[in-house]
Structure 1
Amino acid sequence: MNKVNAVLLLVFALVIITIAELIGIQSITIGSITISLLPLVFAIIITMVLGMKVLRAGPLKRIYSKQNVDFSSKYLIFIMLPLMARYGADVAPQMGEILQVGWVFIFQELGNLGTVLIGLPIALLIGLRREAIGATLGIGREGELAYISEKYTLESDEGRGVLSLYIIGTIFGALFFSIIAPVLLDLGFRPEALAMASGVGSSSMMTGASSTLVARLPEMESTITSYAAASQLLTSFLGTFTMIFLAAPLQQFMYKFLVRSDRT
């Protein structure tokens, strides 16, 4: 990538980020359900719209060139590394708090295996193959993105799988969590349990779920936010170990077994 393209790509990213931040968090209320739209969602949507062929002209055509796309996907990991370091910096001072949270929070980490146990067979059933490795290792957030990038590269089938899930989760994840949390609340689930469940390792999804719960139960705001934050912190800390030592080996075993069974 030449210097002109690099500067153009950087300016374009800064403009999109600025526009998304100016839009801010927007909420849509449908009956008793409040849907929160975060700036990250707007940034992805704007970038996708501008990437449509009918709009690609002039500078946009250079920005969305194959060279720039290949460069961005290849070096995306360098953008993720500071975020991984930030997670570590956030977790370290809270080690005492994490140890006092209780086994309930730790037990919920087993739920991370659901993407493998349930998602992998479905992905293979609808025709995915190596892409399913990246798409079902977890919920497709930064941890899974970094792991797949390091092990397979983002240019591989596995990399395309996790990138696709990352984008889909960014656009629809917060929306889904904003809708499902109040629905489950109406079905009788305790707000504490829903707040704990919102900490799945994605800040946008946690914010979407907890904000809708707070909107419904403002008198429990401190309880909901503290449970959600503790769960998110623990997931960010333990999720990587669960993924590497439990989810990844289980996934490899299931993939080989299911693909072999499919061939026979």
Structure 2
Amino acid sequence: MKGTFIYLLLFSLIVIAVSEMIGFQSIAIGPLSINLLPLLFAILITMVFAFSIFRKGILKKVYSKSNVSFSGTYLIIIMLPLMARYGADVAPQIREILSIGWIFIVQEFGNLGTVLLGLPAALLLGLRREAIGATLGIGREGELAYISEKYTLNSDEGRGVLSLYIIGTLFGAIFFSILPPVLLHFGFSVESLAISAGVGSGSMMTAASSSLVASHPDKESLILAYASASQLLTSFIGTFTMVFLAAPLQRFMYRTLTRKEAK
């Protein structure tokens, strides 16, 4: 495994370097702008080279079974520096954030929407155990950790949450780049949109807050602070919401809905 891990490390560094060279790209479509982050390019590059047509020679060693298993197991550890960055953005605006703290807490109930709306839709599409991983949340670090600990990432539930994680990274950031300018056009305040940006995904939060900053550069520090605080609370309080509310609700709905189908 040691030899193939070195190939994985070198390949990862090359992908990071290429993605950073491409950098932050913004595509204007009429009055809207789509922000493409380096993270998006990194995901696309690694997905393209994972196709069997490219997976030969050194790349075959990069995408070895042991490397894939290692990456899935320790993915959550890589996210820890990102959490530290959120704290650095929150600290300068802590007083203003505390003054409206209850709003941040109320938004956590929105985490139940993935179960209430997503689970029935997933079952209608033909998913079964995969739906448990795919609809517990938006498939970010918290759900990834919970599903991997409870079911492992090699299970049907694990494949569900991993699939959602990749799809969310690819399309979630694009969607969150487009949505804030649209909602601003319909009269939503920039502060409310900044708070709603923290849904538990670093890439989605960054995409949304970047779009808001582009529209209101004079409020950059406030937007980043609100978005980061919301992201931190979603990662922290959202974990308890997931474990004590979303997971039991999901199990009840899954048993009820699958029992009806069996009849």
> TM above 0.5, one fold?
yes
How many angstroms apart in 2 are the aligned matches of 1:74 and 1:256?
33
CA shift for structure 1 position 203: 1.6
**1:39-58 equivalent positions in 2, closer than 5 A:** 39-58=38-57
**1:242-261 equivalent positions in 2, closer than 5 A:** 242-261=241-260
Task: State whether structure 2 residue 83 is matched by structure 1 residue 87.
Answer: yes
In the alignment of these two chains, the number of paired residues is 259
The residue that corresponds to 2:72 in the other structure is 76
CA shift for structure 1 position 225: 2.3
Deviation larger for 102-111 or 49-58: 49-58
Superposed CA RMSD: 2.2
How many angstroms apart in 2 are the aligned matches of 1:263 and 1:132?
17
Q: Is the 8 A contact 1:36 1:175 kept in 2?
A: yes
CA shift for structure 1 position 86: 6.3
The residue that corresponds to 2:217 in the other structure is 218
**1:140-219 equivalent positions in 2, closer than 5 A:** 140-219=139-218
CA shift for structure 1 position 191: 1.6
CA shift for structure 1 position 99: 5.2
How many angstroms apart in 1 are the aligned matches of 2:62 and 2:228?
38
How many angstroms apart in 1 are the aligned matches of 2:162 and 2:60?
22
Cα deviation per residue 1:64-85 (whole Å; 9 max; x = unaligned)? 34x24xx423552323135358
Question: Structure 2 stretches of 5 or more lacking a match?
Answer: none
How many angstroms apart in 1 are the aligned matches of 2:154 and 2:211?
37
SS at match of 1:29: strand
TM-score, normalization by structure 1: 0.90
What is the one-letter code of the residue matched to 1:27? S
Deviation larger for 42-51 or 119-128: 42-51
Question: Structure 1 stretches of 5 or more lacking a match?
Answer: none
How many angstroms apart in 2 are the aligned matches of 1:243 and 1:87?
19
The residue that corresponds to 2:22 in the other structure is 23
* Cα gap change, 1:75 to 1:210, in 2 (>3 Å): closer
SS at match of 1:36: strand
Q: Is the 8 A contact 2:36 2:174 kept in 1?
A: yes
SS at match of 1:53: coil
Q: Is the 8 A contact 1:74 1:154 kept in 2?
A: no
Q: Is the 8 A contact 1:91 1:237 kept in 2?
A: no
The residue that corresponds to 2:112 in the other structure is 113
**Aligned residues with identical type, % of pairs:** 62
What is the one-letter code of the residue matched to 2:111? N
How many angstroms apart in 1 are the aligned matches of 2:122 and 2:163?
13
Q: Is the 8 A contact 2:5 2:62 kept in 1?
A: no
Cα deviation per residue 1:51-104 (whole Å; 9 max; x = unaligned)? 222223321233234x24xx423552323135358638966996x767544211
What is the one-letter code of the residue matched to 1:238? I
TM-score, normalization by structure 2: 0.90
How many angstroms apart in 1 are the aligned matches of 2:148 and 2:51?
26
How many angstroms apart in 2 are the aligned matches of 1:89 and 1:39?
17
CA shift for structure 1 position 18: 1.8
Q: Is the 8 A contact 1:123 1:132 kept in 2?
A: yes
How many angstroms apart in 2 are the aligned matches of 1:89 and 1:152?
30
CA shift for structure 1 position 15: 1.3
SS at match of 1:119: helix
Moved runs in structure 1, 4+ residues, more than 3 A?
84-94, 96-101
* Cα gap change, 1:43 to 1:137, in 2 (>3 Å): same
Deviation larger for 184-193 or 251-260: 184-193
Cα deviation per residue 1:108-148 (whole Å; 9 max; x = unaligned)? 00000000000000000110000000000101111111110
Task: State whether structure 2 residue 6 is matched by structure 1 residue 10.
Answer: no
SS at match of 2:53: helix
